[in-house]
Amino acid sequence: MHTFNELVKDFAERFSVSHFPKEPANLYEPGDYFLGLGGKRIRPVMCLMGNELFGDIHPDAYHVATAIELFHNFTLVHDDIMDKAPLRRGLPTVHTKYNESTALLTGDAMLIVAYEYLNKIGATHKQQIFTLFSRTAREVCEGQQWDMDFEQRTDVSLADYIKMIELKTSVLLAASLQLGAILGGASEGNCQHIYEFGRNLGIAFQVQDDYLDAFGDPEKFGKDVGGDIRQNKKTFLLLHALEVASPEQKQELLRLMAENPADKVARVLDIFRACDVDGWAQKLKQSYMDKALAHLESIAVLSVRKKPLIELSEFLVQREY
Amino acid sequence: MHTFNELVKDFAERFSVSHFPKEPANLYEPGDYFLGLGGKRIRPVMCLMGNELFGDIHPDAYHVATAIELFHNFTLVHDDIMDKAPLRRGLPTVHTKYNESTALLTGDAMLIVAYEYLNKIGATHKQQIFTLFSRTAREVCEGQQWDMDFEQRTDVSLADYIKMIELKTSVLLAASLQLGAILGGASEGNCQHIYEFGRNLGIAFQVQDDYLDAFGDPEKFGKDVGGDIRQNKKTFLLLHALEVASPEQKQELLRLMAENPADKVARVLDIFRACDVDGWAQKLKQSYMDKALAHLESIAVLSVRKKPLIELSEFLVQREY
């Protein structure tokens, strides 16, 4: 058994090699650059944790974990193009440092190399693992499409948003755990429980993300607090505020969004507070956490085996940064 | 046994269904649109032919063939973005009809769905088929990168160009045949022969492509004859001309490329003819065809089984359009 932090360290070390051929350098060097920007490697670690919940880490789990991290980075490289994002972790994105064609093709190659890692695993669970991996990969693309669609729409409901977040964020966390669990020899029922744990945890994580973007402590948060508000991003907070605000508050909110005054962030936050959006978000997060933990409870293994997953939940959902 | 045309018809019919979920429509409808633009479906048919060379068509061959055609279309959608191509088969490309983000994400989803088809096959050849498919997919990306690199370089040799064409075009033809051969139960030696047949055929195909773009009959060719010359595209013809031209001819060629006069195509063709580039190209094509056919010869099956592959070669390499 390993703690969450031990697994983070272990995976980060193993992952910090080049995953690509040398040539053509203009294709693969940008891939190495992007992977070198780092990150917590949460998803591959969740794969290892999903495995260790049920048994010793299977050597194939490292291949699957690597495939997951490469897939995740493929989505980031392509999303950065679509979002025209100049920076990632404070450094230039691939399409900014190189160009869009390079970012497009490097992302493609990264996805293919992810599948090459996945193909290294033994035959026993191959069909099942490929099925879950590809379904999830497709769902993440679907989530990105809904996200882009929603930017153009004014009638997005909270339910629509949750469906989008599930696809864009939650399913990969859920699948990472389940892919590990499959290698750990989990029963089908336990695979469902660990998937549902991850899916609900993912939604709680996104609620916290949206919450911190509005109400976070700028000292701790690192990113620019109020960024979502400035960009009129449809978040848990905004969508809920639009649903519960009085007609006057709603009109004021829509006016602030349309007119972008200099004090927009402060005034939107005033309305959010007046509507108790902050208290509501904390309760919503807790309700998804409770659902997640209930699924974890239902898995009949020694409770010591669950400890790293509880540490992970706390890391993801209690964080202030 | 089926003829080349029977297999084309059979596959086209089977392939003309939707390969995607219904929603989000903005992700999948563009995929259906692009696949609906048609095409000869040469690569999946080569997979079926590679199978039939050795035995009856295995039901899994249709899954692999579908994966190949989806992969090929994924590369076309993404290449069209990189090349800023407005049209494909006379109709708007995905990024033109919709937008770049849609084309990017639709391409991604198409690649993932290709892997979903591949995962439908039985366990026996799965490892081998995934390995060859992914290696080839990666090589095709590498070929596209070299192609983009070469546009920026002035020192591209004929050998460099052939290496690029092998990756960008030939390996997918070769792998399509071999993937079918694996399902047909071919020995490892025969798998190599059919791969080499496809690889050499692919180069001969590209020589013919470059030849027709310069010397084709505009009535038959359909596309704009002289397009490569107008765009200063590095082709078999140009690279050979630059190697064999006299210092005066070379200087004139470089001047025409730099200055783009109105009669550029005619004057470049004059130099090509003076250097016997057309005769050389026909001989080069024949030499790759001979190599291809020698590999086909080496495969010990009834010669009647090879007939569709010979029809295919003639279609690809003797065509005037």
Q: Do A113 and B26 touch (CB under 8 A)?
A: no
Query: Which residues of chain B are within 8 Å of residue A60 when distances are taken between CB atoms?
Result: none
Maximum distance among all Cα pairs of chain B, rounded to whole angstroms: 62
Q: How many Cα neighbours within 13 Å face the side chain of A101? A: 16
The pLDDT value recorded for residue B318 is 84
Q: Do A141 and B112 touch (CB under 8 A)?
A: yes
The SS3 of residue B88 is strand
Task: At A250, list the tokens.
Answer: 């709603």
Closest chain A residue to the Cα of B149, Cα to Cα: A26
**Contact present, B275 and B245 (Cβ < 8 Å):** yes
CA B74 to mean position of chain CA atoms:
13
| Interface check A27 vs B, CB under 8 A | yes
Closest to A141 (Cβ–Cβ): which among B82, B109, B134? B109
Q: Please state, in angstroms and rounded to a whole number, the distance separating the CA atoms of residues B51 and B41.
A: 16
Closest to B26 (Cβ–Cβ): which among A21, A135, A145? A145
Those residues of chain A that have pLDDT short of 50 are none
Q: Please state, in angstroms and rounded to a whole number, the distance separating the CA atoms of residues B227 and B230.
A: 5
Neighbour tally for A124: CB within 10 Å: 14
Closest chain B residue to the Cα of A74, Cα to Cα: B108
CA distance A100 to chain B (A): 8
Which residue, among A26, A134, A149, would best test binding to B if mutated, counting the most B CBs under 10 Å from its CB? Answer: A134
**Contact present, A228 and A213 (Cβ < 8 Å):** yes
Rg (CA), chain B: 20
Query: Within chain A, how many helices (H) and strands (E) appear?
Result: 17, 2
Write out chain B's pLDDT in tens, 321 residues. 899 999 999 999 999 999 999 999 999 999 999 999 988 899 999 999 999 999 999 999 999 999 999 999 999 999 999 999 999 988 999 999 999 999 999 999 999 999 999 999 999 999 999 999 999 999 999 999 999 999 999 899 999 999 999 999 999 999 999 999 999 999 999 999 999 999 999 999 999 999 999 999 888 776 778 999 999 999 999 999 999 999 999 999 999 999 999 999 999 999 999 999 999 999 999 999 999 999 999 999 999 999 999 999 998 998 776
Query: Which residues of chain A are within 8 Å of residue B147 when distances are taken between CB atoms?
Result: none
The pLDDT value recorded for residue A222 is 67
Q: Please state, in angstroms and rounded to a whole number, the distance separating the CA atoms of residues A155 and B225.
A: 51
The SS3 of residue B86 is coil
Interface of B with A in 79-108 (CB under 8 A): 81-82, 100-101, 104-105, 107-108
Q: What is the DSSP string of A243-283?
A: HHS-HHHHHHHHHHHHH--TTHHHHHHHHHHHTTHHHHHHH
**Contact present, B229 and B277 (Cβ < 8 Å):** no
Closest chain A residue to the Cα of B74, Cα to Cα: A108
Helical spans, DSSP H, in B1-98: 4-15, 25-36, 42-52, 59-82, 94-97
Q: Please state, in angstroms and rounded to a whole number, the distance separating the CA atoms of residues A121 and A81.
A: 32
| Interface check A154 vs B, CB under 8 A | no
- Residue A35's φ and ψ, nearest 5 degrees, are -65, -30
Picking from B139, B167, B144, B82, the residue whose alpha carbon sits closest to that of residue A104 is: B82
- Indicate the residue type of B182: I
Q: How large is the angle between the packed helices B42-52 and B171-183, nearest 10 degrees?
A: 40
Closest chain A residue to the Cα of B146, Cα to Cα: A24
A215-228 residue pLDDT tens: 998 887 767 789 99
The pLDDT value recorded for residue B222 is 67
Q: Please state, in angstroms and rounded to a whole number, the distance separating the CA atoms of residues B79 and B76.
A: 5
Query: Which residues of chain A are within 8 Å of residue B99 when distances are taken between CB atoms?
Result: none
The pLDDT value recorded for residue A166 is 98
Q: Do B105 and A144 touch (CB under 8 A)?
A: yes
Task: At B18, list the tokens.
Answer: 């939707």
- Residue A208's φ and ψ, nearest 5 degrees, are -60, -40
Q: Do A101 and B23 touch (CB under 8 A)?
A: no
Q: Locate tokens 């060719």: which residue?
A: B221
Q: Please state, in angstroms and rounded to a whole number, the distance separating the CA atoms of residues A36 and A30.
A: 10
Q: Is the omega angle on the peptide bond into residue B44 within 30 degrees of 0, that is, cis?
A: no
Q: Do B113 and A138 touch (CB under 8 A)?
A: yes
Q: Do A112 and B27 touch (CB under 8 A)?
A: no
Closest chain B residue to the Cα of A22, Cα to Cα: B142
Picking from B297, B15, B301, B67, the residue whose alpha carbon sits closest to that of residue B176 is: B67
Q: Locate tokens 């279609």: which residue?
A: B315
Q: Do A105 and B144 touch (CB under 8 A)?
A: yes
Task: At A50, list the tokens.
Answer: 């999903």
Neighbour tally for A222: CB within 10 Å: 12
Query: If you ran DSSP here, which 8-state letter would residue A58 be given?
Result: P
- Indicate the residue type of A26: N
**Dihedral angle over CA of B127, B128, B130, B135, nearest 10:** 130
Give the containing element (helix H, strand E) for A294. helix A277-297
- Indicate the residue type of B146: W
| Interface check A138 vs B, CB under 8 A | yes
Q: Please state, in angstroms and rounded to a whole number, the distance separating the CA atoms of residues A170 and A51.
A: 18
| Interface check B127 vs A, CB under 8 A | yes
Interface size A-B, in CB pairs within 8 Å, comes to: 110
Q: Locate tokens 């002035």: which residue?
A: B154
CA distance B252 to chain A (A): 32
Q: Please state, in angstroms and rounded to a whole number, the distance separating the CA atoms of residues B102 and B109.
A: 10
Q: Please state, in angstroms and rounded to a whole number, the distance separating the CA atoms of residues B121 and B6.
A: 24
Which residue, among A78, A84, A108, A124, would best test binding to B if mutated, counting the most B CBs under 10 Å from its CB? Answer: A108
Closest to A113 (Cβ–Cβ): which among B113, B115, B138? B138
Closest to B82 (Cβ–Cβ): which among A104, A113, A142? A104
| Interface check B122 vs A, CB under 8 A | no
Q: How far is CA A232 from CA A227, B20, B264, in A?
A: 9, 32, 53
Q: Do B138 and A104 touch (CB under 8 A)?
A: no
Q: Please state, in angstroms and rounded to a whole number, the distance separating the CA atoms of residues B215 and A206.
A: 60
Q: What is the pTM of this model?
A: 0.96
Query: Which residues of chain B are within 8 Å of residue A117 when distances are taken between CB atoms?
Result: none
Residues, chain B, total?
A: 321
A137-175 residue pLDDT tens: 999 999 999 999 999 998 999 999 999 999 999 999 999
The pLDDT value recorded for residue B75 is 98
ipTM reported for the complex, 2 dp: 0.96
Closest to B104 (Cβ–Cβ): which among A24, A78, A135? A78
- Indicate the residue type of B312: L
Q: Do B112 and A26 touch (CB under 8 A)?
A: no
